[in-house]
Amino acid sequence: AQSVAQPEDQVNVAEGNPLTVKCTYSVSGNPYLFWYVQYPNRGLQFLLKYITGDNLVKGSYGFEAEFNKSQTSFHLKKPSALVSDSALYFCAVRDHLNYGGATNKLIFGTGTLLAVQP
């Protein structure tokens, strides 16, 4: 069964410092991996994805993530955090063996609240 784990409920970081939000996954085939951000009372905004190719993926707002197959991880990173980055971050996975069918569901992690202090 597919699953995603975000081991940290909350990450605190000072503005200007690098940030990392952790994510590990478990799928039966090759994964499609996603990161989304959610601001209070809003839907999810797409940040970046890994489908295939380079392990380092660059996304919106200066975020990037590194796909590590041996560690089954897809950690979200940013070199210099901003106060405006404070939000709830979700990692998600989809098994691409089912790609193209109506059963393509995204499986979400439990979310990590990022708090950036001024």
Q: Which residues bind other proteins (CB under 8 A)?
A: 32, 34, 36, 41-46, 49, 51, 90, 94, 99-100, 102-106, 108-111, 113
The answer to whether the CB of 72 falls within 8 A of the CB of 26 is yes
**CB nearer other proteins, residue 44 or residue 82:** 44
**CB nearer other proteins, residue 9 or residue 70:** 9
The distance of closest approach from Cβ of residue 46 to other proteins in the complex, given in angstroms and rounded to an integer, is 5
Helix (H, G, I), strand (E, B) or coil at 48: strand
| Chain center to CA of 111 | 9
The distance of closest approach from Cβ of residue 43 to other proteins in the complex, given in angstroms and rounded to an integer, is 4
The distance of closest approach from Cβ of residue 39 to other proteins in the complex, given in angstroms and rounded to an integer, is 10
**CB nearer other proteins, residue 32 or residue 78:** 32
The angle at the Cα of 27, spanning 113 to 101, to the nearest 5 degrees, equals 100
**CB nearer other proteins, residue 15 or residue 22:** 22
The distance of closest approach from Cβ of residue 16 to other proteins in the complex, given in angstroms and rounded to an integer, is 27
Q: If you ran DSSP here, which 8-state letter would residue 111 be given?
A: -
For the chain, list the strands marked E by DSSP.
3-5, 10-14, 19-21, 24-26, 31-38, 44-50, 56-58, 64-68, 73-78, 87-95, 107-108, 112-117
